[in-house]
Amino acid sequence: MYHAVAHRPADATHALSVSPEAFAAQMELLAARGFTPVTTAALGHAWRTGGALPRRPVLITFDDGYEGVHRHALPVLAAYGFAATVFLTTGWLRGPDHAGGALDTMLDWGQVRELAAAGTEIGGHSHTHPQLDQLGAARLRFEAVHCRELIGDRLGGPPVSFAYPYGYSSRRVRRTVREAGFAQSLAVGNALARPRQGPYALERVTVRRSTGVEEFAHLVEGRSLGRIFAGDRVLTKGYAVVRRTRAAARRALVTGRG
């Protein structure tokens, strides 16, 4: 899971960004070790149907839709013939649907079309990047449906893959995303994706500014993940309790008003 690819990212995206040089080195490692990148759609289809996957399949995914994915990552992906998936926060993109809130320079729709024409899968990542599990039913449905409709309108066909903003979901969120028409969704989890996770809760590992080549090798081989992400998992569990408490309080407030 990547975010921004930039020499000088904004402060808000710095920790979850990678430099263009680091990204190129990481893709070189994937090629040298015989990995075959596939799109999220291809992985989901293979696991649903029992179809074959290439040797050593791996997903290369980018969340949010930062401009550096087109400027810096696409030429490297093209050089290796690598597939990837970009999950768009549609309201953050530059253009007529901009809703504010973007953390850095984002793609515009012309660049999105160029990514798609190059074979990159375009997926959904909501419209305004909220914590979906904290939303009421109407707003939750809007975030999933409007995102999918905008991408479909701009690219001539709706996306089939989704990634949850911040990785947060719940049964209600996953059901809404499925009902919106997405066939599979990615969380974070900082673990390797497995079929047993189900098509709407597939896990990924985070690549950061601080991720060196050796650590990256451990990530793609699935080694030492518990140690690498120990701090993340403690924080995730604690914040999950906070989010559930907040959501319960909001439901109680709504019920009381009704």
| pLDDT digit string, tens, across residues 165-174 | 999 999 999 9
pLDDT digits (tens, 9 = 90+) for 137-170: 999 999 999 999 999 999 999 999 999 999 999 9
Instruction: Supply the pTM of this predicted model.
Output: 0.91
The answer on pLDDT for 184 being more than 90 is yes
* In the chain, alpha helices (H): 20-32, 40-49, 68, 74-80, 109-117, 137-155, 171-180, 213-221, 225-228, 230-257
Comparing 82-91, 120-129, 228-237, which segment has the lowest mean pLDDT?
228-237
Sign of CA dihedral 11, 13, 18, 20: negative
Residue of higher predicted confidence among 241 and 99: 99
